[in-house]
Amino acid sequence: MKKSLILLSAVCALALTSCSKKESSDVIIGGIFPLSGNVAVYGVECKNGVDLAIEEINAAGGINGKKVVLVSEDDEGNPDKTVVAFKKLTTRDGVGMVIGSLTSGCTNAITALSQAKKVRQLAPAATAPEITNAGNYVFRACFIDPFQGTVGGKFAADTLKAKRAAILYDLGNDYSVGLYENFVKSFEGDGREIVAVDSYATGDKNFNAQLTKIKNANPDVVYLPDYYATVALIAKQLRAQGIDTPIVGADGWDGLTAVAGSEVLNGFYSNHYSADSTEPVVQKFVEAFKAKYNKEPNSFAALGYDCVYLIRDAMTACGSEKVADIRDAMEKTDGNYVTGHLTFDESRNPVKSAVMLELVQDADGNLTTAYKTTVNP
């Protein structure tokens, strides 16, 4: 009797769950963002972009007539917590689509789970090449590290006309290592050389010993492939040592304008879009973002915004809510988004251009960015 009651309860619970899902009038999207911790700027701004896109889409009638709802979790930029967040979203909330996470390490922590559970994962900003290796349920909205490292090397050589480069990178960070390796491949040759390479451990605060070696090597450009908080510390110590050469980095620098000062002037970094662009889709986004949040959107906001519209366009194209159908439709993406014209290659990595931004001061002396040049794939 006891077994029968337990079985009956389980069947009833399953029936209620099935009915609630069947009757749902909403399109549920899961989101995993670092809303606190060392890279919170990435997560907060990305979620802002996601929220704005959802607001716009719902105001226009939703997706296939259904309201879009975001259910999100904060992973604090910690891969272990990313896994916990993913399990909550897919088990407790039953989501079949997840946007996130932001850094490569956190994103990579859940790609195998996404593939195994057939949850369509769309990574806004994880640039490590291996992210999409887990399988055909994993996509990304950003270009990958080899391209970014190549862009940085080409920019230093062709635009800055540098001949002697030094590199300081985080040996425990896959993002930093990948950028460093591809910068070297792109920069060396035709009379150009890497005159100094040094490293540090994640979380280090004092870089003076490494910077002394770099100064003694007399470079005419320094490549700093890391996230904004660490770059701000390095730049201050670098300038204090009298190293006044240009510094170059990648999209992890987005956020520097909020935490750094004049020490990052004469600094340049590769990024996914420029708010200065005259493209209508960019200007519409920038104006809407400023109206909602009273500030200019960074690239993480743009990538989050694009992720939602990529989902919208795929669902509209296939007319289905089945994850496999949405996945198949997304593979055929060919359209204009805030971060550029986008198609996917066979590994579900975007094929699109990168821009180089320069850190400058505006008329009021505030740190901001200005478009420098575009580099095509």
Q: What is the pLDDT of residues 300-325, one digit of tens each?
A: 999 999 999 999 999 999 999 898 99
Average pLDDT, the chain: 92
Task: Summarize pLDDT for 33-89 with one digit per residue, the tens.
Answer: 999 998 999 999 999 999 999 999 999 999 999 999 999 999 999 999 999 999 999
Residue 24: which pLDDT band, with cuts at 50, 70 and 90?
Answer: low
At 39, list the tokens: 């890279």
Share above pLDDT 70 across residues of the chain, in percent, rounded to a whole number: 94
Q: Do domains 24-143+279-344 and 146-271+356-375 have the same CATH topology?
A: yes
pLDDT score at 80: 98
pLDDT (tens digit per residue) in 236-290: 999 999 999 999 999 999 889 989 999 999 999 999 999 988 889 999 999 999 9
Q: Give the per-residue pLDDT at 277.
A: 87
For residue range 190-249, list pLDDT tens digits in order.
999 999 999 999 999 999 999 999 999 999 999 999 999 999 999 999 999 999 999 999
Q: What is the pLDDT of residues 125-154, one digit of tens each?
A: 998 899 999 999 999 999 998 899 999 999
Q: Which CATH number applies to 146-271+356-375?
A: 3.40.50.2300
* Residue 174 binned pLDDT confidence (cut-offs 50, 70, 90): confident
- pLDDT above 60: residue 10: no
pTM for this structure? 0.79
Banded model confidence at residue 329, pLDDT cuts 50, 70, 90: very high
Cβ atoms of 363 and 370 within 8 Å: the answer is no
- The residue-averaged pLDDT of 324-328 equals 94
Residue 296, CA atoms < 13 Å, CB-side half-sphere: 17
Cα–Cα nearest to 105, from 19, 7, 174: 174
Cβ(371)–Cβ(357) under 8 Å?
A: yes
Between the alpha carbon of residue 122 and those of residues 46, 64, 256, 305, 324, the distances in Å are: 13, 20, 25, 12, 14
Record: fold of 24-143+279-344 = Rossmann fold (3.40.50)
- Tokens read off for 277: 């662009």
Alpha-carbon 58 to chain mean position:
24
Query: Which tokens belong to 235?
Result: 């730049």
Adjacent-strand bridge partners of 139: 122
- The domain segmentation of the chain, as residue ranges, is 24-143+279-344, 146-271+356-375
Token look-up 């770099």 returns 214
DSSP labels, 188-240? -BTTBEEEEEEEE-TT----HHHHHHHHHH--SEEE--S-HHHHHHHHHHHHH
